[in-house]
């Protein structure tokens, strides 16, 4: 069974590599494209060492100006993001337990009273409502566009791996098995009437790949 990687990543990207490491066949056909608008240097340079910088993806981590981003505390949603942030010398002080934007901000708002939170985001993300005692500075770091995909890809694969609500909307309803990276992606699937075939135990690429591989093996056993 072959898995469709819908992320905006090259053939040797992190999800594709995780799937291959789990023994799965992979087809790359991104449904989203991203374009960086700013490195956020001006905004991040206003932060002190007790303020917070929220980076929701590895792409955001790699897009911001690295020198000024080493000053504030950094909040991320996953261990993969933590590793990417620490590789750039950032001070990761919070990894969300829930692995979603909502869970991260719920945790952060209880920790950052009287501080500034800087949230450079995708054009498709919506900033949360911050408590009055917290200053939230949020702006678009990069634009995310829907990319028209080859319709023939649907006939070439068995599974579609979706890692964001944006990807779910871009793929739409097709006759494939949907593998979701986590709760917010699963919610987006259910909004268009699809129940995921599998949902990752943890919101990261390795966990998603392992979940798909496990279910593929179960399916093969049943067919045998």
For residues 118 and 54, is the Cβ–Cβ distance under 8 A? yes
Assigned CATH class of 38-144: alpha beta
Structure tokens at 94: 């919070």
Was domain 2-31+147-223 assigned CATH 3.30.565.10? no
Walk along the chain (224 residues) and give the pLDDT tens digit of each residue: 999 999 999 888 989 999 999 999 999 999 999 999 999 999 999 999 999 999 998 899 999 999 999 999 999 988 878 999 999 999 999 999 887 888 899 999 999 999 999 999 999 899 999 999 999 999 999 999 999 999 999 999 999 999 988 999 999 999 999 999 988 899 999 999 999 999 998 888 999 999 999 999 887 766 65
pTM score: 0.78
Strands (E) located in the chain: 2-5, 25-28, 32-36, 52-54, 73-76, 91-95, 116-122, 135-146, 159-162, 177-180, 198-199
For residues 112 and 91, is the Cβ–Cβ distance under 8 A? no
Where in the chain is CATH 3.40.50.10090? 2-31+147-223, 38-144
């Amino acid at each position: 069974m072959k898995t469709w990687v819908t992320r905006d990543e090259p053939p040797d990207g992190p999800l594709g590599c995780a799937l291959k490491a789990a023994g799965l066949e992979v087809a790359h056909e991104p449904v989203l494209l991203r374009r960086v608008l700013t490195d956020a240097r001006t905004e991040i340079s206003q932060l002190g060492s007790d303020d917070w910088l929220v980076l929701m993806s590895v792409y955001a981590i790699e897009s911001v100006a690295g020198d000024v981003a080493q000053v504030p505390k950094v909040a991320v949603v996953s261990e993969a993001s933590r590793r990417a942030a620490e590789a750039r010398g950032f001070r990761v002080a919070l990894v969300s337990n829930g692995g979603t934007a909502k869970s991260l901000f719920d945790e952060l708002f209880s920790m950052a009273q009287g501080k500034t939170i800087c949230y450079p985001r995708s054009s498709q993300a919506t900033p949360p409502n911050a408590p009055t005692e917290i200053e939230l500075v949020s702006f678009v770091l990069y634009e995310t566009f829907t990319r028209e995909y080859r319709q023939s890809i649907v006939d070439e694969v068995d599974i579609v791996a979706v890692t964001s609500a944006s990807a779910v909307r871009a793929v739409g309803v097709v006759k494939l098995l949907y593998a979701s990276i986590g709760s917010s992606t699963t919610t987006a699937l259910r909004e268009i009437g699809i129940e995921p075939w599998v949902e990752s135990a943890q919101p990261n690429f390795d966990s998603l790949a392992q979940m798909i591989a496990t279910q593929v093996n179960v399916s093969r056993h049943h067919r045998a």
